[in-house]
Amino acid sequence: MRWFIVVGGISVILSVLGLFVFIFWHAIPLFQKARVGTPSELGVSLVDPVAMLPGSYGFDAVVVQENGAFQFLSCLPFQESVTIELAESGPHEVVEVSTHQGDGYLYLGMRHGAVLTVRTAFLPHAQESHQPVIEILESLQLPVAEGAALLSLDTYHMDQQELIIGLVDSPGEGQILGINRSARANPFGEVETRDEHEWSLILPDGVVAKTVLSGADARSIVVLSEQGELFYFRTGSGSPELRQRFFPMGDQGPAEMAFLNGRRTLAVWTPGGRVRFFTPVSLAAGGFKYVQSNETFFEGTGPLQLVPAADKRSLLLVRGNRVGLHYSTTNALRWEGSLPFVPQKSQFGELNQSILFLNHEGSFVSYPLDDPFPEAGLRGLFGKVHYEGREASSYEWQSTGASDRFEPKISLIPLLFGSIKGTLCSLLISIPIALCAAVYSAQFIRREWKAWIRPTIELMASIPSVILGLLAAIWFGPLVVNKVPSMLSFMVLVPMGAMLAGFAWGRLSPVVRKWIPDGTELFLLVPLFFALSYTAWHLGDWVESIFFRVYDLPTGEWVGDFALWWSLAEGKQMEQRNSFIIGVFMGFAVVPLIFSVAEEAFSSVPRQLVSGSIALGASRWQTVRRVIIPMAASGILSAIMIGMGRAIGETMIVLMASGNTPILEWNFMAGFRALSANIAIELPEATQGGLLYRSMFLGASLLFVLTFFVNTLADLLRGHLRKKYKVLE
């Protein structure tokens, strides 16, 4: 029998441990670094490559050469590399290639100012291979003066909005030319009208432009000068307007710049390896300005090259033969290594699944890349992160957005905070009520009444939490939001009234008290409780008019308005679904658990100790304080910890009545989002194996660890208390 019990206990322990390992195993990839595999190499013959772009449909990369030729490169055995010449007649001298994620458009900037808009397509060929096709959609001419040449080109195209800007090397000055175009489509998607506006921009005297980029809304222009000064312009119906001007790299001299995915965060770097990231922050007066979000340094020899990824905030850092994979938001170096050659061109492959290089010896090299979760890691999950568009670093949870360019924010700190906040709010209400009820039931109440009062309280535990959540969200929340002063009056008046009643009872003459049998005092408090509750409810209006007064501008009078007073005092609106509501209803759900265990602990105190204390002249309350509570301390602690575990894991009440706002505020009139509720909310949106999916498993692991830690701590304290009061047994 003994071995049967031992095997059963070990089996339970192993089962619990196995469950945790299974849950955490799915979260481990969130903490793994990027991995780079064995390279594939292809010999190529290239003449003056201008740009290397990610390929698709079996092609690893597309190289655009200065003569306008497109070379589609593939390391796959079933797909041959293909070279395509532009069909348009005339000489081509490509100086810049601009592309956009998802639309398949390429903009080729020619030295004489022409801009060709082309689109690539892939037609099925033999077996699994494809045949690329280049289609010229449009050709336009930037107003480049005679003798001038186009140095660089950048474009933006999205939702019928288009911005084309070019940096022109005019004699004696550096000029920026641009074209804003917008189209209006009918309900059938056909373009009906097209507006076009040409403009030119000349920088202040002595400033020579080096790089020009277009922002993410077809109205933003960023210019970097040869001296390392950055200019931010906004375009409209007239000429571009200067909004900001500063040196992003300080006094470190000339620099380069590029937009990251989404064309909002700007990366600026020096040849010496220093990289700074700047994000646009909205201004109260309208518009926005660039502020620095992160900074890093990449070691190596030679000038630094920076290549942004097309669909994430990842970027390649290349210095000589040293290559690093960096994630800008968390400022983490995901991978670093050395190449056996010095690359001429570098690029990410399709979907960031490879890293592509062209070397000076005429070889194309593709390295497989496995980095599915660069947004995660210890800092992304638990650290402060300076997200795009934010003025400072913060803890944020926002798993999805309205755009494919949205960057998920997966900090678990707001969720952990929400779980702790909800637990504390519920315990602040449930512990005093449950323990006082347990003491009274175990030591004071008459035995025949205890037989039905205790089961009645324990029956509360059978109420489904979804019913409590529904009542909290639909009934109690709207009721209390306009009666907060009444609830505050109730929380002050009822306990004070009960204590005063107890004090008065203790001062009554024994002649009067003997007419009331021991254990029936409760029935004297019931009418007092209802009377105090009624008084507190109607006293709330008076309390509001005295303590929560605000000045009403329309009437010019001082009025009582708690909601307005709270918004002025805290700077935020009072929410209908808040922590106070959760504290009341989750406390209601926890009370039966704490009461049952604590009452059992109080009832287990030996009667001879209680009788001996009373025989020595101690009052019943002194006996409770000096004998019963110390003896039952371990059981009280167990009751509290069981209630805490119930509150930490509660889902439905929190899900329905907390507002589910992942914020870090102790404000009891604000909502929160708990780990348990977050799993219920986000799970339907989580794709298997994705970032959100694994974040849910990590949240479950944290709940597991948190509960295990609480129970372990409770067991240690329980053992300590048993040893301390063992002499009384």
Q: 476 with 581: CB under 8 angstroms?
A: yes
pLDDT at 45 over 80: no
| Domain spans in the chain, listed from the N-terminal domain onward | 37-398, 413-477+577-728, 482-573
Tens-place pLDDT, residues 118-173: 988 888 876 777 888 888 888 888 888 777 888 888 888 776 778 888 888 765 56
- Whether 37-398 shares its CATH topology with 413-477+577-728 is answered no
Phi, psi at 688, each rounded to 5°:
-60, 130
Least confident of 194-198, 319-323, 371-375, 630-634: 194-198
Which fold would CATH assign to domain 413-477+577-728?
MetI-like fold (1.10.3720)
pLDDT score of 635? 86
> Which residues have a Cβ under 8 Å from the Cβ of 692 and sit 6 or more positions away?
399, 400, 408, 410, 682, 685, 686
Tens-place pLDDT, residues 212-238: 998 877 788 999 998 899 999 988 766
| Confidence bin at 572 (pLDDT 50/70/90) | confident
How many whole angstroms separate alpha carbon 566 and alpha carbon 564?
A: 5
Only one residue has tokens 């926002």, namely 398
pLDDT score of 518? 67
pTM equals 0.88
Tens-place pLDDT, residues 517-552: 766 666 777 788 888 888 888 888 888 888 888 877
pLDDT at 418 over 90: yes
- 400 versus 301: which is more confidently predicted? 301
pLDDT score of 413? 95
Amino acid occupying residue 155: T
pLDDT score of 272? 92
Q: Which among 564, 556, 565, 559 has a CA at the least distance from the CA of 541? A: 559
pLDDT at 296 over 90: yes
pLDDT score of 203? 81
Q: 702 with 29: CB under 8 angstroms?
A: no
Amino acid occupying residue 8: G
pLDDT score of 82? 87
Q: Specify whether the backbone of 425 is left (phi greater than 0), alpha (psi in -120 to 50) or beta.
A: alpha
Mean per-residue pLDDT of the chain: 86
pLDDT score of 573? 79
Token readout for 195 is 């507006």
Q: 308 with 261: CB under 8 angstroms?
A: yes
pLDDT score of 575? 85
How many whole angstroms separate alpha carbon 458 and alpha carbon 549?
A: 43
pLDDT score of 384? 94
Least confident of 395-404, 434-443, 471-480: 395-404
pLDDT score of 641? 87
- Average pLDDT (69-95) is 81
pLDDT score of 711? 80
The superfamily (CATH) of domain 37-398 is: YVTN repeat-like/Quinoprotein amine dehydrogenase (2.130.10.10)
Go through the chain and tell me how many residues it has.
729
Distance of CA 292 to the CA centre of its chain: 20
| Confidence bin at 564 (pLDDT 50/70/90) | confident
